[in-house]
């Protein structure tokens, strides 16, 4: 009876975060009968929702806001807040939250913890090594096969990872990471193949597939340049078969959830599994992520035909397994591309001409109410259509309509899908 009463009232929802994935989430929630608050948000988010001036790491202040304002459900997509155990704090105070606890998500927040977790569960992953001292890492690199993927332990920024093809470049980057006060570095054999992310939604005990997403993580066309968190995506990923998804559910997702249950730290939320489909048809697991990514959130959410408010409530309340046996997803396809800027403070023209969905990282308006660029990633454009080729065509037409000095993006996202 309590659950039914909760489900039937007009909700107040707090979304915690300040980037493109939160912007996409807010647009989805605006379709439902709820009042949306966002902490802390950004200048673009402030145009479509009520922003609360509380930083993500201040989880105690966020709890006080929830209690004082009668918030019914909190959705946390911020890694910073998750690391500060917002879910643990809220659960201890009997507040509904859709997010994993810090203990449950440790393997998704730390690359070294994720690698150790994969090794312990005997889930196939590339050969790796973890070091907390530069000399040991350099000794390892002298005999390591190339290319090597070198990453910091925490996913903190776009300059924390690099694919190195020689010992000299590897040595330089490892020394640079330790000079930036990184506590650990993770070295990993580079695996050639098709990179994708498999997303599931779970209450910690049962899980359902959400989407398979093809990822573009290199900055330049043809997978050149620096390795980033992501600059483009498309879904569904036509290269990932139903058999591969079933295998991922059985041999990765089920093992992960069972291991966390044994530790009494069930994982509640959306879990992303980064994988590579090798040229011989096998997949290896690279690492995990504790929510959707900025570059693919809108692409995934545009295809979900469920009411996310009801779905997230069911996970947080404990009725997920009873209420859902599959996640309804449309037959459409989505393609996304991140638009970056080499320069800061340049006027962006043509945003109003774009028909694609736009999720903002943090561009701002000047005194004349014109959008200005920030240095780095500015926004994600996503187009959804009946086919991938149709979505791609419309997406790049919209990208061409937007202009500013220093504009940068990949032109080969979803480039070979004429028949899909």
pLDDT at 332: 97
Instruction: Say how far apart CA 102 and CA 224 lie, in whole Å.
Output: 35
Which fold, 106-111+192-323? D-amino Acid Aminotransferase; Chain A, domain 1 (3.30.470)
Instruction: Say how far apart CA 320 and CA 313 lie, in whole Å.
Output: 8
- pLDDT truncated to tens, each residue of the chain (420 aa)? 344 444 567 899 999 999 999 999 999 999 998 999 999 999 889 999 999 999 999 999 999 999 999 999 999 999 999 999 999 999 999 999 999 999 999 999 999 999 999 999 999 999 999 999 999 999 999 999 999 999 999 865 455 789 999 999 999 999 999 998 888 999 999 999 999 999 999 999 999 999 999 999 999 999 888 888 899 999 999 999 999 999 999 999 999 999 999 999 999 999 999 999 998 889 999 999 999 999 999 999 999 999 999 999 999 999 999 999 999 999 999 999 999 999 999 999 998 888 889 988 877 888 888 989 999 999 999 999 999 999 999 999 999 999 999 999 999 999 876 545
Specify the CATH number of the domain 127-189.
3.30.1490.20
Instruction: Say how far apart CA 283 and CA 244 lie, in whole Å.
Output: 8
- Helix, strand, coil fractions of the chain, as percent rounded to 5: 35, 30, 35
Domain ranges of the chain: 2-99, 106-111+192-323, 127-189, 333-408
Q: Is the peptide bond before 4 cis (omega within 30 degrees of 0)?
A: no
- Decide: helix, strand or coil at residue 377: strand
Which fold, 2-99? Rossmann fold (3.40.50)
Instruction: Say how far apart CA 103 and CA 85 lie, in whole Å.
Output: 8
Longest CA–CA span in the chain (Å) reads: 65
pLDDT at 224: 87
**CATH assignment of 333-408, among 1.10.150.120, 3.30.1390.10, 3.90.600.10, 3.40.50.970:** 3.90.600.10
Q: In what order do the strands lie in the sheet with 148-152?
A: 128-131, 185-189, 148-152, 161-164
For 403, list phi and psi in degrees, rounded to 5. -135, 140
Q: Which of 71, 76, 130, 69 is nearest to 99 (CA)?
A: 76
Instruction: Say how many C-beta atoms besides its own lie within 10 A of residue 370's C-beta.
Output: 12
Q: Which of 271, 265, 274 is nearest to 240 (CA)?
A: 274
Instruction: Say how far apart CA 147 and CA 3 lie, in whole Å.
Output: 53
**Alpha helix ranges (H) inside 70-217:** 79-83, 86-92, 102-109, 111-120, 134-143, 167-179
pLDDT at 3: 47
Tell me, yes or no, if the pTM score tops 0.85. yes
């Amino acid at each position: 009876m309590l659950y039914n009463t909760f489900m039937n009232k007009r909700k107040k929802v707090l979304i915690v975060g300040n980037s493109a994935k939160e912007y996409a989430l807010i647009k989805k929630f605006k379709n439902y009968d709820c009042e949306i608050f966002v902490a802390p948000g950004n200048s673009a988010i402030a145009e479509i929702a009520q922003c609360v001036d509380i930083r993500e790491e201040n989880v105690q202040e966020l709890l006080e806001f929830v209690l004082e304002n009668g918030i019914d459900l909190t959705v946390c997509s911020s890694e910073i807040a998750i690391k500060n155990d917002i879910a643990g704090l809220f659960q201890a105070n009997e507040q509904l939250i859709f997010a994993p606890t810090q203990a449950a998500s440790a393997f998704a927040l730390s690359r070294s913890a994720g690698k150790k977790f994969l090794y312990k569960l005997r889930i196939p992953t590339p050969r790796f090594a973890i070091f907390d001292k530069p000399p040991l890492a350099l000794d390892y690199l002298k005999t390591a096969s190339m290319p090597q993927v070198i990453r910091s332990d925490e996913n903190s920024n776009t300059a924390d990872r690099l694919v190195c093809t020689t010992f000299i470049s590897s040595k330089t980057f490892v020394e640079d990471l330790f000079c930036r006060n990184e506590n650990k570095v993770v070295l990993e054999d580079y695996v050639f193949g098709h990179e994708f992310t498999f997303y599931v939604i779970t209450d910690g005990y049962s899980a359902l597939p959400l989407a398979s997403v093809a990822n573009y993580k290199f900055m330049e066309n043809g997978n050149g340049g620096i390795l980033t968190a992501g600059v483009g995506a498309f879904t569904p990923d036509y290269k990932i078969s139903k058999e591969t998804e079933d295998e991922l559910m059985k041999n990765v997702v089920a093992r992960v959830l069972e291991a966390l249950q044994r530790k009494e730290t069930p994982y509640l939320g959306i879990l992303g599994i980064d994988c590579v489909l090798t040229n011989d048809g096998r997949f290896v697991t690279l690492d995990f992520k504790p929510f959707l990514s900025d570059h693919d959130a809108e692409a995934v959410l545009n295809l979900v035909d469920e009411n996310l408010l009801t779905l997230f409530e069911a996970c947080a309340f404990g009725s997920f397994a009873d209420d859902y046996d599959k996640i309804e997803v449309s037959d459409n396809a989505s393609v996304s591309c991140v638009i970056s800027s080499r320069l800061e403070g340049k006027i962006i023209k043509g945003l109003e001409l774009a028909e694609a969905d736009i999720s903002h990282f943090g561009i701002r308006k000047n005194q004349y109410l014109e959008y200005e660029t920030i240095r780095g990633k500015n926004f994600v454009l996503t187009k959804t259509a009946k086919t991938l080729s149709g979505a791609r065509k419309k997406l790049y037409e919209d990208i061409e309509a937007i202009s500013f000095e220093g504009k940068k993006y990949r032109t080969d996202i979803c480039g070979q899908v004429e028949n899909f």
